[in-house]
Amino acid sequence: MRKKIIAGNWKMNKTPSEAKALVAEIKEKVAGATCDVVVCPTAICIPGVVEELKGSNVAVGAQNVHFKESGAYTGELAGNMLKEAGVTYVIIGHSERRQYFGETDETVNLRTKAALEAGLLPIVCVGESLTEREQGITDDTVRRQTKIAFLGISAEDAKKIVIAYEPVWAIGTGKTATAEQADEVCGIIRETIAGLYGKETAEAIRIQYGGSMNAKNAAELLAKPNIDGGLIGGASLKAEDFSVIVEAAK
């Protein structure tokens, strides 16, 4: 059985003091969790959050990583910097990075390799836009994104990667794919991994759903066979809602 993983993507929210206060509340509420629990604050909040979570069962993730170890890349963070700061996971290729900051399938692949090289666990995001879904090319889109993200990555390293299926049309809109729709696409992603690496690797990789999962719909989504967790946006900024989703992962 794959262990469920619930990760909170805080996006550009919370000051350092607010972040510490939030995780202080979260760690108490999820202390008995049977799934992996991750919070992904903004970079400036990482040191305080790591300090607050010491000794807890909550891991810390970053929201991005650069594909070089150092250099003239103003505003970027290297994997070794994140690792030394206490980060375990890193989100790569989120649709907002693709939409607003020029992320491509190719740079997702480079960042994924860099994260693995630094000893970080990537959470790689894939998902279709509303236009792509309406044109009936959801399958083609997620297959392409998945294949390029895993290009040149060994089966051993592939098993360390979490994939987050995030239909772009459901992020921050309040719209959610039905549990059946979400499970179907997660199944397609798993089939794609099987085509690349074989069934054993495909069965080992965890696939999250990340399109507006919340306290009300989490249980139904997490009950599906191909959904191994959630990448949570807005609901991760409320300790009570986030803890309900973690509880649903049982």
For position 174, what pLDDT does the model report?
73
Domain spans of the chain, in order of start: 5-248
Give the mean model confidence (pLDDT) for residues 180-201: 97
pTM above 0.75, yes or no: yes
The model's confidence at residue 166, banded by pLDDT at 50, 70 and 90, is very high
Give the mean model confidence (pLDDT) for residues 206-235: 95
DSSP 164-203: EE--GGGSSSS----HHHHHHHHHHHHHHHHHHH-HHHHH
Q: Is 169 annotated as a binding residue?
A: no
* Distance of alpha carbon 24 from alpha carbon 91, whole angstroms: 22
* Distance of alpha carbon 104 from alpha carbon 229, whole angstroms: 25
**For the segment 95-119, what is each residue's pLDDT rounded down to a tens digit?**
999 999 999 999 999 999 999 999 9
Q: Is 212 annotated as a binding residue?
A: yes
Which residues are designated catalytic? 94, 166
With a CB cutoff of 8 Å and minimum separation 6, the contacts of 140 are none
For position 186, what pLDDT does the model report?
97
Q: What is the mean pLDDT of the chain?
A: 96
The model's confidence at residue 143, banded by pLDDT at 50, 70 and 90, is very high
Q: Is 11 annotated as a binding residue?
A: yes
Length of the chain, in residues: 250
The model's confidence at residue 53, banded by pLDDT at 50, 70 and 90, is very high
Give the mean model confidence (pLDDT) for residues 150-155: 98
Task: Give per-residue burial for 57-74: e unless 16+ CB within 10 Å, then b.
Answer: ebbbbbbbbbbeeeeeee
For position 211, what pLDDT does the model report?
84
For position 1, what pLDDT does the model report?
83
Q: Could you tell me the fold of the domain covering 5-248?
A: TIM Barrel (3.20.20)
* Distance of alpha carbon 235 from alpha carbon 243, whole angstroms: 9
Q: Is 226 annotated as a binding residue?
A: no
Give the mean model confidence (pLDDT) for residues 209-224: 93
Q: Is 172 annotated as a binding residue?
A: yes
